[in-house]
């Protein structure tokens, strides 16, 4: 998945959106999505991700720029003529119709014969394991079942592009996680292009080929899940994706790809110089909790005071004070079934230079 303009199935070309003519909620968006890709737009409320999805669906119009589908500009094509499947958080099923009638409706609109409709409806229901529910009405289904039907309805007319707006937001945690895998497997089987909007980062990491992290109307980083988590390019992405230890300091030297950073308590740390302005400038260090070792000396070693231990089954979440940061988190794997740490004790912690990233100051 390279997402270049040459082979893009979906393209946002210098797209802007303003509701009042002054404040831009989407700022000069350039985004290219490959055919068959599962791309997630991830970000906090108000970051612009849902507005982008609604412009692609045709429910909002771009203030500036072009949106292209398979090379054709679609800015002036109404939603029902774009041939796009949609799945919403609130299911949007017709309550007066049976499940079968709900699925048949988009096929009727397209003028398909009764025999073809029945065949496609049966196929779509089997795809979401709801074959025996065709005669039920939405009110007779659970939330998870309704969401399966909404998904089947979006896929029944075999669109090349499916848009999903927080589709699992109303489900409980266990069902939501199960549906994440279901949708991922259906995507892999059908090869349909999916653009998915969520504010849930674990959902995005689980399902996506690539993730576009939005904040303040712009894409902060666009990358596969592993790259976003392991190699955040700025402080916002480091903080938003996964858990992150941040320490503020001043860059005192840069040698090749390594920055030396002095923290407020005088401790000197070596880190990858990813996005820092230069010597004498402030920077935020980013270290993932699982990359920190306890009781070992390493490239960067500090004294730590243990303030809280939380048992979470597969690991113990240890909150410590390190270099003046009271919220320094270390995840200790529960491989041995216990930890020797005690609240109030001090311990040595260490991490590798390559696991510590010097980013823009926040």
Q: How many beta carbons lie within 10 A of that of residue 265, not counting itself?
A: 12
**pLDDT, position 1:** 57
Confidence of residue 313 (pLDDT cuts 50, 70, 90): confident
Question: Would the pLDDT of 42 be above 90?
Answer: yes
Model's pTM, two decimal places? Answer: 0.90
- Provide φ and ψ at 67, rounded to 5°: -115, 125
Q: Under DSSP, is residue 239 helix (H, G, I), strand (E, B) or coil? A: helix
Question: Hey, CA dihedral for 331, 41, 153, 125, is it positive or negative?
Answer: negative
The whole-number average pLDDT for the span 257-282 is 92
**pLDDT, position 35:** 95
Which ranges in the chain are annotated with CATH 3.40.50.300?
10-235
CA distance 355 to 231: 9
The whole-number average pLDDT for the span 74-91 is 88
Question: Would the pLDDT of 168 be above 80?
Answer: yes
Question: Would the pLDDT of 117 be above 70?
Answer: yes
**pLDDT, position 362:** 74
**pLDDT, position 65:** 95
Mean pLDDT of the chain: 91
**pLDDT, position 4:** 62
**pLDDT, position 335:** 77
Confidence of residue 322 (pLDDT cuts 50, 70, 90): very high
**pLDDT, position 336:** 61
Look at the block and give the residue holding tokens 């100051």: 361
**pLDDT, position 194:** 96
**pLDDT, position 338:** 58
Which ranges in the chain are annotated with CATH 2.40.50.140?
243-360
The whole-number average pLDDT for the span 110-126 is 91
**pLDDT, position 221:** 97
**pLDDT, position 3:** 59
Confidence of residue 7 (pLDDT cuts 50, 70, 90): confident
What is the per-residue pLDDT across 129-165, written as a single tens digit (0 to 9) for each? Answer: 888 999 999 999 988 899 889 999 999 988 999 999 9
Question: Would the pLDDT of 289 be above 60?
Answer: yes
Question: Would the pLDDT of 290 be above 70?
Answer: yes
Q: Considering the domain 10-235, what is its CATH architecture?
A: 3-Layer(aba) Sandwich (3.40)
CA distance 357 to 285: 5
Confidence of residue 337 (pLDDT cuts 50, 70, 90): low
β-pairing, 84-88 with 161-165?
parallel
**pLDDT, position 62:** 94
**pLDDT, position 109:** 86
What is the per-residue pLDDT across 219-251, written as a single tens digit (0 to 9) for each? Answer: 999 999 999 999 999 999 999 999 999 999 999
Low-confidence winner among 2-11, 108-117, 157-166 (lowest mean pLDDT): 2-11
Helices (DSSP H) in the chain: which residue ranges? 49-57, 99-109, 114-127, 143-155, 173-190, 201-207, 225-230, 235-240
Q: What is the DSSP letter of 99?
A: H
What is the per-residue pLDDT across 172-199, written as a single tens digit (0 to 9) for each? Answer: 888 889 889 989 999 999 999 999 999 9
- Residue 28's nearest CA partner among 194, 218, 174 is 218
Confidence of residue 288 (pLDDT cuts 50, 70, 90): very high
Q: Under DSSP, is residue 260 helix (H, G, I), strand (E, B) or coil? A: strand
Distances (CA, A) of 327 to 288, 291, 331: 13, 16, 13
Q: 243-360 belongs to which homologous superfamily?
A: Nucleic acid-binding proteins (2.40.50.140)
**pLDDT, position 2:** 62
- Residue 357's nearest CA partner among 204, 239, 202, 195 is 239
């Amino acid at each position: 998945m390279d997402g270049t303009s040459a082979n893009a199935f979906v393209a946002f070309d210098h797209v802007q959106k303003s509701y009042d003519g002054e404040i831009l909620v989407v700022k000069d968006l350039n985004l290219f999505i490959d055919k068959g890709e599962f791309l997630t737009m991830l970000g906090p409320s108000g970051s612009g991700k849902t507005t982008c999805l609604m412009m692609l669906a045709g429910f909002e119009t771009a203030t500036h720029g072009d949106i292209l589908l398979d090379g054709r500009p679609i800015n002036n094509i109404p939603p029902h003529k774009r041939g796009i499947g949609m799945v919403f958080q609130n299911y949007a099923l017709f309550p007066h119709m049976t499940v079968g009638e709900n699925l048949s409706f988009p096929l009727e609109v397209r003028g398909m014969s009764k025999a073809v409709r029945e065949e496609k409806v049966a196929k779509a229901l089997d795809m979401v394991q709801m074959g025996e529910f065709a005669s039920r009405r939405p009110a007779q289904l659970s939330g998870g079942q309704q969401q399966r039907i909404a998904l089947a309805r979006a896929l029944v007319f075999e669109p090349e592009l499916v848009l999903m707006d927080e589709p699992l937001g109303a489900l409980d945690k266990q069902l939501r996680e199960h549906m994440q895998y279901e949708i991922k497997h259906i995507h892999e089987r059908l090869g349909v292009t999916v653009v998915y909007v969520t504010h849930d980062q674990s959902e995005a990491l689980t399902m996506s080929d690539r993730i576009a992290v939005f904040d303040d109307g712009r894409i902060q980083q666009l990358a596969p899940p592993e790259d976003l988590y392991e190699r955040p390019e700025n402080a916002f992405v480091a903080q938003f994706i996964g858990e992150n230890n941040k320490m503020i300091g001043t860059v005192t030297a840069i040698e090749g790809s390594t920055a030396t950073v002095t923290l407020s308590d005088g401790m000197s740390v070596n880190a990858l110089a990813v996005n820092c302005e230069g010597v004498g400038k402030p920077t935020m260090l980013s270290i993932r909790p699982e990359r920190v070792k306890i009781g070992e000396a390493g490239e960067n070693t500090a004294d730590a005071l243990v303030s809280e231990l939380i048992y979470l089954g597969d690991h113990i979440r240890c909150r410590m004070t390190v270099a003046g940061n009271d919220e320094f988190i270390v995840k200790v794997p529960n491989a041995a079934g216990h930890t020797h740490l005690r609240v109030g004790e001090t311990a040595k912690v260490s991490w590798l230079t390559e696991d510590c990233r010097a980013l823009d100051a926040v």
